[in-house]
Amino acid sequence: MSASPLGLLRSVRLGPLTLCQACGAFNDNLIKNAMVVFALFTLGQGGAGLSALAGALFIAPYLLLSATAGQLADCYVKSHVILVTKVAELGLMLLAGVAFLTASVPGLLLVLFGLGVQSAMFGPVKYGVLPELLPSDELVAGNGVIEAGTFVAIVAGTVVGGSLALLESGPALVSALGLAIAVVGVLAARWIPERPPADPHLTVGLKPVRETAHLVRQAVAHPTIRSSILGISWFWLIGATLMTEFPVLARDTMGASGSVLTVFLTVFALGVGTGSIGAARLLHGQVSARYVPLAGLVISIFLWDFASAAHAASAAGLRDAAALVTHWAGGRILLDLFVLACAGGLFSVPQYALMQDAAPVDRRSRTIAANNVVNALFMVLGAAITAALAGVGLDAPSVLQAAASPISWWRSALRASGCRGCSARSPDALGGSRSRQLEIASRASPRVRGPNPPMITTTIAMAAAMKANTAITPPRPRNMAIARPDSAADNRLQA
């Protein structure tokens, strides 16, 4: 019987790691948002370009250093690597305090880049250590707890950072809070159980670009891992697009105050957290993608209706949080947002567990690193597409409706539907090498077939149709057969 998510959170196996991750996510967004608000409203510097630069400085290390981070996590004791990254975060918070108190925007940008480096180094080890701390039947619950804590911390850091930065003593308060949270993260890291290194004889490469390309090629060669990486990346693309469009939607479409944006962020975080925890309860500890198709379809439908409801509510006078939560039109908006966020948690968490379960033990952190690289690429791609659509005149609801392209999600759902309760980890009793065990497991159950990247051409076509107020009928998705477990030849052919 697998432990409940709450029981795991109270245990030493998961509680300290979850607290470490939440502290890091909170501080990242606390400093980033506080810096932008402080520069814009207190110092009168920067603008949209400063916000874009801050985002680029934070995401660049994921592309450049994830491969090195994965190698270090596989080569050394993971709990020691986590502790080193949290101590580095503590030093960065001290530097952030100096930069805030001296009103140095370049100093804050340098700290933000340092936080990006620290997060990139922490990413592979935090997900790579989970299967070492939890058995297979607790892996989905563990990922759900981590995901829920991450999104709550992201929103809390964003809201608190922006609010404190507007106060007269804001820089000092942000500095003190960031330092206190970093200390909590270091203390939590000391409680994470030690496990032997996965590959102590691994040589860490010194050419990050080549190592990154090699890492991604190796990861995507495995069908289950490739499907999971693409599905998770698509989830982060949609999530990043939503987070980008929330301020524009609240201010320009609805003509609302900042309190409406805070409500949007809060409901979104609570929804993702609920869906992430709910995934463990629905799957009862089984590492499976059976609910991914349904979750993808729900995201598509409710994202489309969320954008439509926000556009329609512009005439309802929902100018603040009180009006939003008491008016029926606001209730529709919040219900759409909560449901699509719940579906996002149900969509992503099982795919994290599948990827971890399928990855070879001695390469697990490097597999997570490859996932982080592709996630970052998708988020950059999403930002570019969003900017392009806005450049041709589409408003925020139209951009979100383009992102909710039903054909994209429907095809993702079909490609993910190849697994009905399968797990990439086979019992130890099978014997032989791990690769052999995985091969036997893949023949014993249908192969996971996961989401494809978003269909860019369909999205652009739908956007153009919406701009011209014309109808567009998406093409019918191809029928996709599910591989029969009794035929290895058919499996290879369909793969």
254 confidence band (pLDDT: 50, 70, 90)? confident
Find the range with the poorest average confidence among 70-79, 108-117, 303-312, 478-487.
478-487
Distance (Å, whole) CA 210 – CA 22: 32
Query: Any idea what DSSP says for residue 252?
Result: I
Token look-up 């008016």 returns: 327
Contact indicator for 119, 182 with CB cutoff of 8 Å: no
Q: What does the pLDDT average to over 116-128?
A: 93
Q: Please, which residues have CB within 8 angstroms of residue 417's CB and are 6 or more apart in sequence?
A: 289, 292, 293, 449, 480, 482
Q: Is 8 exposed, middle or buried (CB count within 10 Å of its CB: 0-12, 13-18, 19+)?
A: buried
AA letter at 85: T
Q: How confident is the model at residue 248 (pLDDT cuts 50, 70, 90)?
A: confident
**Of all helices (H) and strands (E), which one includes residue 135?**
none
Residues in the chain: 495
Helix (H) or strand (E) holding 365: helix 364-391
Considering only residues 470 and 41, tell me which one the structure prediction assigns the higher pLDDT: 41
By C-alpha distance, which of 129, 125, 121, 127 is closest to 88?
A: 121
What is the Cα–Cα distance from 164 to 96, expressed in whole angstroms? Answer: 15
Written as one letter, the residue type at 164 is L
- Amino acid in the structure at residue 376: A
CA atoms of 375 and 287, how far apart (whole Å): 21
pTM of the predicted structure, to 2 decimals: 0.79
List of domains in the chain = 1-194 (1.20.1250.20), 219-469 (1.20.1250.20)
Query: Taking residues 57-79, what's their average pLDDT?
Result: 92
pLDDT at position 295 is: 93
